[in-house]
Chain A
Amino acid sequence: MSPIDRGFAAVVYGGSVLFALLIVGLFVELVLGSWPSLKAFGPSFIWHSAWDPVANKFGALPMIYGTVVTSLIAIVLAAFVGIMAAVFLADFAPRWIATPLSFLIELLAAVPSVVYGLWGLFVLAPLVRTAIGPALQHVLGWTPLFSGPIYGVGLLTGGIILALMIVPTVTAISREVIAAIPRDLREASMALGSTHWETATRVVLPAARIGIFGACVLGLGRALGETIAVTMVIGNRPEISASLFAPSYTLASVIANEFTEATTSLYISALIELGLILFLVSIVVNALARLMIWRVRGSRA
């Protein structure tokens, strides 16, 4: 190896080690910060549902629940809308529509989340209270998911806001993945007498599924950690209720909301432990997704 090659290798190697160290360091820091809480509550922190700073009782379950439910709502909505939009943009829309529309969608990804939050608070929340909520309740009110009073702010509103925020990511990546599917494959399908729609759903989407899955995971990752917009529309109440109309809390939003007012060291460390949980969940979600992608690839190679 020439000295330059060696230098380059050293930089690359050093860089990756640095990244690994950064992640480990972050983990250690989080564990140290949450030590008082870890010692006081042990693993039961995860499944206790009381969050009462005045009584010094802390349990993470309501926030874990709120995070999981809002993220699930978001990813289900965003995957559906985003994949449909991507198919439309890549395979159906004429160029003069597809190009500006793709550009606009990619711009949407650059809107700061606090703007989404404001819009959610002033437009979406009233809409959920007066129109979307009552309509859903009218049709699906018999299920616990859609029963109870409709406040406007709550799990559903948080989920919808998150969906809006990750739809551009899901759409943009899915569109690229779909556009990269060879023309040959589409034509093989068309030449067999399939319609455009059959070609898109039976040939193109299956062939692009790994990349689309990746797009959704990326969206999910963003939804799990998204803070400010959700904080503005989730209702900020550490409770677990079956109804999607009920106010709730997420891991990220409780940290953002309460860190400045946390007075006791136990309170602070409980918040840091929430951060630790969020960190671990994010890593596990990404690792699982990657594992699945590898397995899908492996079975095809």
Chain B
Amino acid sequence: MTAAPPTIAPAGGALATDDLSAYYGTLEAVGNVSIAFRRKSVTALIGPSGCGKTTLLRCLNRLHELTFDACVSGRVLLEDCDIYEWGMDPMAIRRRIGMVFQRPNPFPTLSILDNAVACGGRRLNRRAKIEVAERALRAAALWDEVKDKLTRSPLQLSGGQQQRLCIARAVAAEPEVLLMDEPTASLDPIATAVIEELMARLAERFTIVAVTHNMQQAARVSDVTAFMLADADGTGRLIEVDDTAKLFTKPSDPRTEDYITGRFG
């Protein structure tokens, strides 16, 4: 990574899975998912609780394998390169694929500034740090709210601000893909609206995959929606992927229709 990464996101961000399955011990939580995420767009992953959305998302940046007894089969292609191929460096992969979690999780012992530049910021001097942080915090629509308290603790921020700080932290690494796991699940409606708006802007620079179990949110923020459902064995299957407008108006699978009309889940 260079000290001053370019403001315009580089090309890249083509992400796809090929026959991807994920396991917790003997439980196959996600089964045979093949999906190509649209570049520089928001793809929403929807489905009832426990259908494997989080698990699928965590396979995309090799976080799944950190869970005790977890493993993965199949391929995840980032720019036509299988990130699970032997010899791939998971650390390098994770710097190319940022992640935002369900609950805001800024590093409690670092300042707001150091949180924003947590990835690789240690090597920068203070001026370069502030430069990188400003760019990331502006991208996360947080700069104006924190520019006068960069040295404060992130725990003084509201939940929504903390979540945007986490987005800034991920964005500062200049990734190609941004994974978001129910990023607004713990936020109030106003903070949620701010982040939804932000997601649309971030999609100009990143390929975004966002889990949500809120269908209105999927309809509002995403270009493409993927619907998942667990089968009788508890294995999450990909049922249908389509343009969001199409999926919510004319779903081609009856199970999708049942779900979006609220008949189950």
Which residues on A are within 8 Å of B, measured CB to CB? 95, 182, 184-185, 187-195, 203, 206-207, 209, 300
CB neighbours (8 Å) of A187 from chain B are 63, 66, 99, 101, 105
Q: Please state if A193 and B101 are interface contacts (CB–CB under 8 Å).
A: no
**CA of A182 to CA of B169 in the docked complex: distance in angstroms?**
18
The segment from B33-41, B90-98, B191-199, B210-218 that touches chain A is B90-98
Contact A95 B68 (CB under 8 A): yes
Instruction: Name the distance in Å between A211's Cβ and chain B's nearest Cβ.
Output: 13
CB neighbours of B105 from chain A (8 A): 182, 184-185, 187-188
B77 proximal to A (CB < 8 A): no
16 contacts between A and B (CB under 8 A): A184-B101, A184-B103, A185-B107, A188-B105, A188-B106, A189-B107, A190-B63, A191-B61, A191-B63, A192-B98, A193-B173, A203-B107, A206-B110, A207-B108, A300-B108, A300-B155
A190 vs B99: C-alpha distance in the bound complex, in angstroms? Answer: 10
Interface string of B92-127 (1 = CB under 8 A from A): 111100110101011111100000001100000000
Chain B residues contacting A188 (CB-CB under 8 Å) are 99, 101, 105-107, 166, 169
Cβ-based interface call for B153 (8 A) = yes
- The residue on A at minimum CB distance from B96 is A193
CB atoms of B95 and A192 under 8 A apart = yes
- Distance in Å from the Cβ of A257 to the closest Cβ of chain B? 45
The answer, yes or no, to whether B170 is at the interface (CB within 8 Å) is: yes
- Are A190 and B173 in contact, with the CB atoms below 8 A? no
Residues of chain A contacted by B119 (CB below 8 angstroms)? 192-194
Residues on the B chain within 8 Å of A209, using CB: 109
B166 cross-chain contacts in A, Cβ below 8 A: 188
**B interface residues with partner A (beta carbon < 8 Å):** 61, 63, 66, 68, 91-95, 98-99, 101, 103, 105-110, 118-119, 153, 155, 166, 169-170, 173
Please determine whether A192 and B118 come into contact, CB atoms closer than 8 angstroms: yes
Cβ–Cβ < 8 Å partners of A192 in chain B: 94-95, 98, 118-119, 169-170, 173
Asked if B108 contacts A193 (CB within 8 A), the reply is: no
Smallest Cβ-Cβ distance to B92: which chain A residue: A193
In the complex, what residue of chain B is closest to A209 when comparing beta carbons? B109
- Knowing that A193-B91, A193-B94, A207-B107 are A-B contacts, what are 13 other residue pairs whose CB atoms are under 8 Å apart, sorted by A's residue number? A182-B105, A184-B103, A185-B107, A187-B99, A190-B94, A191-B101, A192-B94, A192-B118, A193-B93, A193-B119, A193-B173, A203-B109, A206-B109
Task: Count chain B CB atoms within 10 A of each CB in A185, A193, A203 and give the residue with the most.
Answer: A193
In the bound complex, residues from chain A placing their C-beta under 8 Å from that of B108 are 185, 207, 300
Contact, CB under 8 Å: B101 / A190 = no
User: With A and B bound together, what is the CA distance between A191 and B118 in angstroms?
Assistant: 11
Q: How far is the CA of A193 from the CA of B106 in the complex (A)?
A: 15
A6-B256 Cα distance, complex, nearest whole Å = 60
Closest to B91 in A: A193
Residues of B contacting A195 in the complex (Cβ-Cβ under 8 angstroms): 91
Instruction: Provide the residues of chain A in CB contact with B109, threshold 8 Å.
Output: 203, 206-207, 209
How far apart are the CA atoms of A207 and B68 in the complex, in Å?
A: 22
Closest 5 CB pairs of A and B: A193-B95, A206-B109, A191-B99, A193-B94, A184-B105
Query: A residues within 8 A CB of B155?
Result: 300
Name the residue on B nearest A185 (C-beta): B105
CB-CB under 8 A from B98, the residues of chain A are 191-192
Query: B169 — which chain A residues lie within 8 A by C-beta?
Result: 188, 192
Give the CA-CA distance A189 to B169 in the complex, in Å.
Answer: 10
Within the complex, the shortest CB–CB distance from B22 to chain A, in Å, comes to 16
Residue of chain B at shortest CB distance from A203: B107
Determine the distance from Cα of A195 to Cα of B173 in the docked complex, in whole angstroms.
Answer: 15
User: Which residue of chain A has the shortest Cβ distance to B66 in the bound complex?
Assistant: A190
Distance between A188 CB and nearest chain B CB, rounded to angstroms: 5
Q: Nearest-CB distance from A225 to chain B (Å)?
A: 32
Q: Give the distance to chain B from A280, nearest Cβ to Cβ, in Å.
A: 34
Q: Using Cβ atoms and an 8 Å threshold, which residues of chain A touch B66?
A: 187, 190
